[in-house]
C-alpha cells in the first residue's frame, strides 16, 4: 500500500483503489482496462451522452480529479472534447499520473490546481458538461454543495449545457442538496435512484430542453456502448423502473 499523507492506494482482484481514508473509496481503476469507468456512479455521471446529440460535449469541466476516471474516459472515448479539471490538492494530480495513468496532454486535458468553488464563482468561461465530484477527506462537499455554487454552475453552462453532481444519497442533508440544485436550475433536474455504494447522481439542464422517449434513450445507450464501451442500458432501465420516465419520456 502506498501512503502520501492521508492518500492511500491499494489493489484487490485486479482493481487499484484510491482512498482518502481506509474506509472510503475515492476512485478505482481496473488494471487490465485502465480507461474504463470501474465504479457504477462514474458511469451514471456520463448519462448526459444520452441526452445531447454528438459531437457533445465540446468543452467539459470537472471539479475534483480523484483517480482521474472521468477525465480518462472522456479523453480516450470522446476525442473532440477538451477537458478542464479543477483539483484542490496537487498530491491528487501526482497520484493520478503515477498510479492511474492520467494522460499528459495539456492541449486537450488541462489540470488546474485551485479551489473548485472559487474557480466557478470567479470565472466566466462556458462549458457543455460540468461534472462535480469533489469532497474533502471527511466526505464533505462544503461550498460545492451550496446554492451560490449551483447558480454559478448554471451561469457557466452553454446553450446545450448539462450538470452532473455526485451526491451521497444516504446522508441526512441529501434532500437539501437536491432542493438547492432544483432552485438553481428552476426544477430542470433528474435524480437517480441511490446506488449500492450510496452515491446518487443528480443531473440538471440549462439552455435547450431535453425531451427524449424511452425507446430513443435505449437506442442512444446501445450506440454509446458500441462506440465507447460504456453500458448505460442498465441506467435507462433503472430510470424507467423508478418512474423517472413519465409517459415514457424524459423531459428536462
Asked if residue 89 has pLDDT above 60, the reply is yes
Give the pLDDT confidence score for residue 1 in this predicted structure: 41
Give the pLDDT confidence score for residue 3 in this predicted structure: 40
β-bridge mates for residue 167, sequence order = 200
Asked if residue 82 has pLDDT above 70, the reply is yes
Specify burial of residue 182 (Cβ count, 10 A radius: 0-12, 13-18, 19+).
middle
Q: Which of the four pLDDT bands, split at 50, 70 and 90, describes residue 237?
A: confident
Yes or no: say if 60 and 160 are a contact pair by the CB < 8 Å rule.
no
Per-residue pLDDT, averaged over 116-141, amounts to 82
CA separation for the pair 239, 192 (Å, rounded) = 7
Give the pLDDT confidence score for residue 193 in this predicted structure: 75
Asked if residue 7 has pLDDT above 90, the reply is no
pTM higher than 0.85, yes or no?
yes
Give the pLDDT confidence score for residue 168 in this predicted structure: 75
Question: Which residue is associated with the grid cell 431535453?
Answer: 210
CA separation for the pair 224, 17 (Å, rounded) = 26
Please give the mean pLDDT across all residues of the chain.
88
Give the pLDDT confidence score for residue 143 in this predicted structure: 79
Give the pLDDT confidence score for residue 4 in this predicted structure: 44
10-67: per-residue pLDDT in tens?
999 999 999 876 567 889 999 999 999 999 999 999 999 999 998 999 999 999 999 9
Give the pLDDT confidence score for residue 139 in this predicted structure: 56
CA 247 vs CA 189, 213, 244, 250: distances in Å: 17, 9, 9, 8
CA separation for the pair 156, 121 (Å, rounded) = 9
Give the pLDDT confidence score for residue 22 in this predicted structure: 53
Per-residue pLDDT, averaged over 122-144, amounts to 80
Give the chain's largest Cα–Cα span: 51
Instruction: Tell me how long the chain is.
Output: 252
Give the pLDDT confidence score for residue 16 in this predicted structure: 96
Q: Which of the four pLDDT bands, split at 50, 70 and 90, describes residue 136?
A: low
Q: What percent of the chain has pLDDT over 90?
A: 69
CA separation for the pair 42, 27 (Å, rounded) = 9
Per-residue pLDDT, averaged over 120-134, amounts to 90
CA separation for the pair 193, 207 (Å, rounded) = 25
Per-residue pLDDT, averaged over 214-242, amounts to 90
Task: Return the C-alpha cell found at 156.
Answer: 457557466
Rama region for 15: left / alpha / beta (φ>0; ψ in -120 to 50; rest): beta
Asked if residue 91 has pLDDT above 70, the reply is yes
How far does Cα 224 stand from its chain's mean position? 17
Per-residue pLDDT, averaged over 227-240, amounts to 90
Amino acid at each position: 500500500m502506498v501512503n502520501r499523507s492521508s492518500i492511500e492506494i491499494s489493489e484487490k482482484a485486479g482493481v487499484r483503489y484510491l482512498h482518502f481514508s481506509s474506509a472510503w473509496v475515492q476512485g478505482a481503476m481496473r488494471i487490465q482496462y485502465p480507461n474504463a469507468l470501474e465504479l457504477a456512479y462514474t458511469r451514471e455521471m456520463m448519462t448526459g451522452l444520452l441526452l445531447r446529440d454528438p459531437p457533445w460535449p465540446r468543452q467539459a469541466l470537472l471539479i475534483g480529479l480523484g483517480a482521474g476516471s472521468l477525465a480518462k474516459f472522456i479523453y480516450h472515448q470522446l476525442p473532440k472534447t477538451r477537458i478542464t479539471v479543477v483539483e484542490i490538492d496537487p498530491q491528487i494530480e501526482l497520484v493520478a499520473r503515477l498510479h492511474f495513468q492520467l494522460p499528459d496532454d495539456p492541449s486537450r486535458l488541462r489540470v488546474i490546481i485551485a479551489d473548485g468553488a472559487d474557480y466557478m464563482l470567479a470565472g466566466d468561461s462556458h462549458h457543455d458538461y460540468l461534472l462535480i465530484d469533489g469532497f474533502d477527506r471527511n466526505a464533505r462537499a462544503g461550498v460545492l454543495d451550496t446554492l451560490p455554487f449551483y447558480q454559478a454552475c448554471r451561469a457557466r453552462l452553454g446553450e446545450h449545457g448539462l450538470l452532473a453532481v455526485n451526491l451521497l444519497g444516504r446522508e441526512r442533508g441529501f434532500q437539501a442538496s437536491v432542493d438547492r440544485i432544483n432552485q438553481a436550475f428552476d426544477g430542470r433536474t433528474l435524480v437517480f435512484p441511490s446506488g449500492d455504494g450510496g452515491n446518487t447522481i443528480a443531473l440538471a439542464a440549462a439552455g435547450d430542453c431535453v425531451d427524449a422517449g424511452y425507446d430513443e434513450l435505449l437506442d442512444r445507450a446501445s450506440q454509446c456502448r458500441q462506440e465507447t464501451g460504456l453500458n448505460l442500458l442498465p441506467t435507462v432501465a433503472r430510470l424507467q423502473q423508478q418512474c423517472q420516465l413519465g409517459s415514457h419520456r424524459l423531459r428536462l
